[in-house]
Amino acid sequence: MGGSVKIAVIGAGSAVFSLGLIRDLCLQESLRGSTVSFVDIDPERLEMIHRLAGRYAAELGVDLRFEKTADREAALQGAQYVINTAARSHDDEEAERALGEQRGYYRGFRLSWFPNLTLMMAVARDVERICPDAWLIQSGNPVFDGCTLMTRQTSLKIVGLCHGHYGYRRIGQVLGLDPDRIRCLAPGINHGIYATHLEYEGEDLYPRLDEWIASESEQFWRTHQPEYNDTQMSRAAIELYRLLGLMPIGDTVRITGWQFHLDLETKKKWYGPLGGFDSAIGWARYLKRLAERVDRIFTVAADPSARLTEEFPPVPTTEALVPIIAALANDHRGEFQVNVPNRGAIAGLPDDVVVEVPAVVSGWGIQPIQVGRLPARIVLYTLMPRILEMERRLEAFRSGDRKMLLGELLWDHRTRTLEQAEETLEALMALPFNRSMAERLRG
């Protein structure tokens, strides 16, 4: 047994995320007696997740206390861990996407990173003022941009988490191997990580991967009919591996390389019949599945006769969030993939840029493991351009210089003329939910 803590969850109305968090907390014995304070601006979702949490813990006979509030400052009082998963709504993003497509930007041009950064900094400033010794755990995107911004502008203990690195497990499944026996070291930056080491029970897995590519991949791509967006072993992933020399992992596959995203047919060629996660087909399927999942959670939570542990079995998720809190709070030493300031972890990258690397987590804190220097092709082709994009965004956010934002459009491969970029930016700024952003960006 360990010690109890107070955890504040910002954006707790993200029902699927919060359900997984509740299950993991209930199954973590070392955190028994802890208090979880849920915060959300949507009263219906807040009430639902609070009710579900209390019933779930009661069914398992677990000693956890749950609070609910719309007052972020109240939730932060006495908190030792603050989880921020809040972000702009999908409805706003879809409105921006539609506007961008009307102006020649296939799959749109979204500015959700700006309001999300605004929210992240507001949370960080509140934590700095109310509970400055707390760990701030950033789970909402953009993890890379947001954690870099917050670590530069505050003195808080900040860590970003993303589950994309578990993409290596899909490699094992396709190769017919037990994913639990695979060890993958995949450093880089969030949504830009590459397997420098890929082993199966101590054996280098790259030769098996090469053999699969040579003898089985074409058959797999011709016959595989994914029910969902399966990108880890797509043609795009293997093409990036051939180009860069290391296997891209997780979301890296769907984000790196504009050449895979020219139109729907191009996406289908590289990502399969659904066109990948970000195609009109794939994204619509994701939103539909998400809505169905949320509806089901609401339905079960509202039914007092439903046994929650039968509907949502008490099995740990693969998320590292709760195990990391347990490691920090109770000195349970473990190794986890985290997003923290570089400070030499990846040689050759700036120290004040947040990188995604393995780290040792314990009562002493979070110590990133130095992974050395990544291949030049990966650094120069993928990481440095993404770092420069992040720096442009942070400068626009910091300075309020609208021309920095215009530069984002001018760097975009879909932009054909200056006028197209200018008109698109002005149209995006005119959207009602972007009013505060437009007022800040006047330069």
Catalytic residue positions, numbered: 163, 251
What backbone phi and psi angles, to 5 degrees, belong to 334? -155, 165
Strands (E), 211-307: 247-249
Rg (CA), the chain: 22
**Cα-Cα end-to-end distance for the chain:** 56
Closest CA to 79 of 137, 154, 7, 3: 7
Burial of 106: CB neighbours in 10 Å, binned 0-12, 13-18, 19+: middle
CA distances to 384, 385, 388, 398, 404 from 391, in Å:
10, 10, 5, 10, 10
Peptide bond into 142 cis (omega under 30): yes
CA dihedral 386, 387, 389, 394 (to 10 degrees): 140
Q: Which residue has the tokens 């054909």?
A: 416
The runs of H, that is alpha helices, within 362-434 are 376-378, 384-399, 402-411, 418-429
Positive or negative: CA dihedral 101, 105, 110, 111:
negative
Tell me the CB-side half-sphere exposure of residue 318, using CA atoms within 13 A: 11
- Quote the CA–CA distance of 408 and 216 in Å, as a whole number: 40
